[in-house]
Amino acid sequence: MKRLWVALMAVLAISVASAQGRLFGEALGGQLVLVPSFGLSLDLAAGAERLLGPLDVRGGLSIAAAGGGSDFGLFADLLYPVRASNLKVNLGGGISLTAGEGTSFGLRGIAGLEFPLERYFSLLTELQLGVSFAGGGSSVGLGIVLGPRVYFP
C-alpha cells in the first residue's frame, strides 16, 4: 500500500510540474446547499490550469454544517474553461467523499463563472448539482459556491 501512495504522489508531482497553466488556490469558498435541506460549508482548494490537456484540475477539503451536525470531506474536480470576453466559464464535474455522522460518496456537475479582478485575483461563483450515495440510499442536492481564487506566479 505504501508503494501505491508513493507512485501516486510521483505521478501527481510530475503532472503538476508539467502543467501548462498557472497554479491556483481557493480559500474559504463558501457553499450554500439549498436542496434537500439547508447547509453551509467552507472549502479550501488548490489546482492547476491545463493540467490534463485543456482541462483544469482541482482538489480540496471541505467542512460542512447541516442538520445540527458537521461533516469533513475531500473532493476532486475536472473543469473545462471557456473564455467569454473578460469572463471565464467553468463547466465540469467531480467526485467527493464525506465523513461525519455517516460516510457518503458523491458525484457532482459544475457550472461556474470566474470574474477577474486583478491579474492574480478573481471572484468565483459556481452552481453545483450533486448526487450522494450513502447507506444504500441516494440524495440529490443543489449548492451555490462563492469565493475568491488566487493565482500563484
CA max distance for the chain: 47
Residue 46: what pLDDT?
A: 93
Amino acid at 110: I
Query: Does the pLDDT at position 144 exceed 70?
Result: yes
Q: What is the pLDDT of residues 104-141, one digit of tens each?
A: 999 999 999 999 999 999 999 999 999 989 888 888 88
Residue 76: what pLDDT?
A: 96
> Measuring CA to CA, which residue among 78, 20, 13, 75 is closest to residue 49?
20
Name the band, by pLDDT with cuts 50, 70 and 90, for residue 53. confident
Query: Does the pLDDT at position 151 exceed 60?
Result: yes
Residue 30: what pLDDT?
A: 65
The CA distances from residue 67 to 9, 61, 64, 71, 75, in Å, are 36, 20, 10, 10, 21
Average pLDDT over residues 5-24: 65
Residue 110: what pLDDT?
A: 96
